[in-house]
Amino acid sequence: MTVSKSLRVVQTPRPNLFHCGFALKLITAMYRPPAVPELDPQELARKLRSAEDFVLLDVREAWELALAHLDDPRLVHLPLSRLARQRNAAFPQDLLEPDREIVVICHHGVRSAQVTAWMLEQGWRRVSSLAGGLDAYARSVDPSTGLY
């Protein structure tokens, strides 16, 4: 076996549980949810200007709504904390239709990507996440949305 001279090999007599726990945390931190369909902020702006029938699902917490928000009648607020507790039961009846087009939004796009991945696993077929979240939308499309 050839080992590069720039590598230092450290041998321990038995596994160190601290290092095993750290490795698990590191792997967990590096995990990225599977690729999910995303909508860029400009495409969302186009959809908002149109009369398209879709739902804008905001999974941010209630306190975040006061800091930045979109005013649109298609917006449904369903905080991730409630969704985590109630799962499918948290959704209004009309959002349970698997072919309903839904765009999930959050602050930076992380929570919305997680919710989108989960919804796809649950059988929704036309769900996407706002790339970069409401922050990207405010920075590239409409600053009046607010930043926080």
Identity at 25, one-letter amino acid code:
K
Q: Annotated catalytic, 20? A: no
Please state the pTM of the whole predicted model.
0.77
The reported pLDDT for the residue numbered 25 is 52
Question: What value, to the nearest 5°, has the Cα angle with vertex 142 and ends 50 and 61?
Answer: 95
The reported pLDDT for the residue numbered 12 is 45
Which of 39, 44, 56, 106 is catalytic? The answer is 106
Report the topology of domain 38-145.
Answer: Oxidized Rhodanese; domain 1 (3.40.250)
Compute mean pLDDT per 10 residues along the chain, 148 residues long, and list them.
47 47 51 78 97 97 95 96 95 95 97 96 97 98 96
Domain boundaries, the chain: 38-145
